[in-house]
Amino acid sequence: MKNINKISGAEAVIRSLIEEGVDLIYGYPGGAIMPIYDELYKFQDKLNHVLTRHEQGATHAAQGFSRVSGKVGVVMATSGPGATNLVTGIADAQIDSTPMVCITGQVASHLLGSDAFQETDIIGISTPVTKWNCQVTKAEDIPKVLAKAFYIAKSGRPGPVLIDITKDAQFELFNYNYQKCNSIRSYNPISTCSDDLFDKASKIINDSKKPFIVFGQGVILGNAESEFKKFIEKTGIPSAWTILGLSALPTDHYLNVGMVGMHGNYGPNVLTNECDLLIAVGMRFDDRVTGNLNTYAKQAKIIHLEIDPAEIDKNVKCDIALLGDVKSTLPKLTKLVNNNTHDKWLKTFSDYYKIEYDKVIHNEIYPTKIGLTMAEVIKEINIATNGNAVIVTDVGQHQMVACRYAKFNDSKSNVTSGGLGTMGFALPAALGAKMGAPEREVVAVIGDGGYQMTIQELGTIFQTGSAVKIVVLNNDFLGMVRQWQQMFFEKRYASTELINPDFVMIAKGYNIEANKVSKRSELTLAVKKMIESKKPYFLEVKVEKEDNVFPMIPTGASVSEIRLE
């Protein structure tokens, strides 16, 4: 707790951030937040501010920073368009449970509701996509509101919070006093359940002959990777991941059977409808995972370990719900279950993998076609980084390929836009990831479409000197949309073909070393050179124009109707 004689509301914002341990902010200044930026100038020795080239870039950078560091990302922007430009990133953070505090300036309180210059009701706009938001019109409220904001953002199921501060509140003087928030009346971030439910769950697990685990990002957000590993190794249960759960368990772990969902692996999808027990750990049964809910795992008993009560029975009805942080609930369950192996059941997954490997995987990573495939690019990145890199992906075909083929040894290594599917996410998110884990290699894998949505953030990378490695897989198409048009719209490629600029020239314009590869014989050396560079580096790889990503579950189909071609 700090007591300081009268200071301005703007200075209180900066001091409160420092009290919360913040040392990095992403943002873009403007008229309504200028007093806060003026105070920030005086605290440059304690707070590093990164000037992104667009406010959306600031939110994605804060997301990338948070996802690899485990800290709360912080963003600042001005009123009106500055605030509304944050909304896409805030919505992305909300659905992917990323803790973030956004601070926006607002017109003076006496102008609220008058359609003043750059006035927008950002509280009304952001309410559906924030965990909490609040408008501050008095300086004295700033410390307690910010303390509350950080507590809400990072407690329980994390999420974004927005604080809107009027300009007069930023100028107003008051007696500053800061106290961290540790609880809020009526807000219970972590639910609990009775011990008898653990007894019942363990009995079901012990009696099961074909148990199957699907794990999500809750394992990573709960820092429960070790607890999860102990649980699956004791029970011997095959485990598959959602996109956001990827990297919670090493890719090469013997019980890691791959990815579920629309472009997931063959075995985990088909066998979802053959298991007798499905254990969901820190995941929300997203529609891309379940396919047709009417046919999803109807033969299985379902145990759901989840921190958010709102997710229980929302999409898939469970037999037992174990509410709580998985870091606490998993050890309780591990104590009660028997040591077991399910070798015959595990071999079934291996058999399906062999079918998938022969029909899909081998042809993708060792292609006979002339053009380069996206999968073989990911294979070269795996070799060059030994599976130790943070891989940041955008949204589209390249995202699915990277998630399918990237190798991970460590947690918090896969950064992608999951629930919202935001094109333009990867470039700024990779910058944030590199700043959140500067000692790690960070590789952004991006499609040529999404790349151009936030391409201006090359300027931020140039200005900060962050050694982000950028790989654009260029097929001159909006690839995922084109794939759907080919498969379901009789090849009517409506508005999906791209006439692209000279990406290498653009990167060099930002003083970033750049290279382009179109031949297989050039790929290994080009990737090696990129990874060995100590500076930002851009690599464009021309890949096959009309390659599709398989396996695939068509929209509305059952997971067991997954197609290999």
Where in the sequence numbering do the catalytic residues fall?
55, 117-118, 167, 480
Token output for 336: 């009660």
Instruction: Indicate the SS3 state at residue 337.
Output: coil
| Site of tokens 């807000």 | 187
From residue 413, give the alpha-carbon distance in Å to each of 151, 191, 230, 394, 408: 25, 28, 20, 14, 7
| Site of tokens 């979802």 | 272
Q: In one letter, which amino acid is 155?
A: S
Cis check for the bond before 551: say yes or no (omega within 30 of 0).
Answer: yes
CB count within 10 Å of CB 115 equals 8
Token output for 3: 């007591």
Instruction: List the Cα angle 311/317/322 in 5-degree steps.
Output: 60
Helix (H) or strand (E) segment spanning residue 483: helix 479-488
DSSP 154-210: HSSS--EEEEEEEHHHHH-EEEEEE-----BTTB-SS----HHHHHHHHHHHHH-SS
- Provide the β-strand partners of residue 469: 443, 537
Are residues 65 and 24 in contact, defined by beta-carbon separation less than 8 angstroms? yes
b/e code 411-450 from CB counts within 10 Å (16+ = b): bbbbbbbbbbbbbbbbbbbbbbbbbbbeebbbbbbbbbbb
Q: Residue 226 and residue 486: Cα distance in Å, rounded? A: 43
From residue 109, give the alpha-carbon distance in Å to each of 112, 126, 148, 149: 5, 19, 22, 21
Q: Residue 173 and residue 12: Cα distance in Å, rounded? A: 9
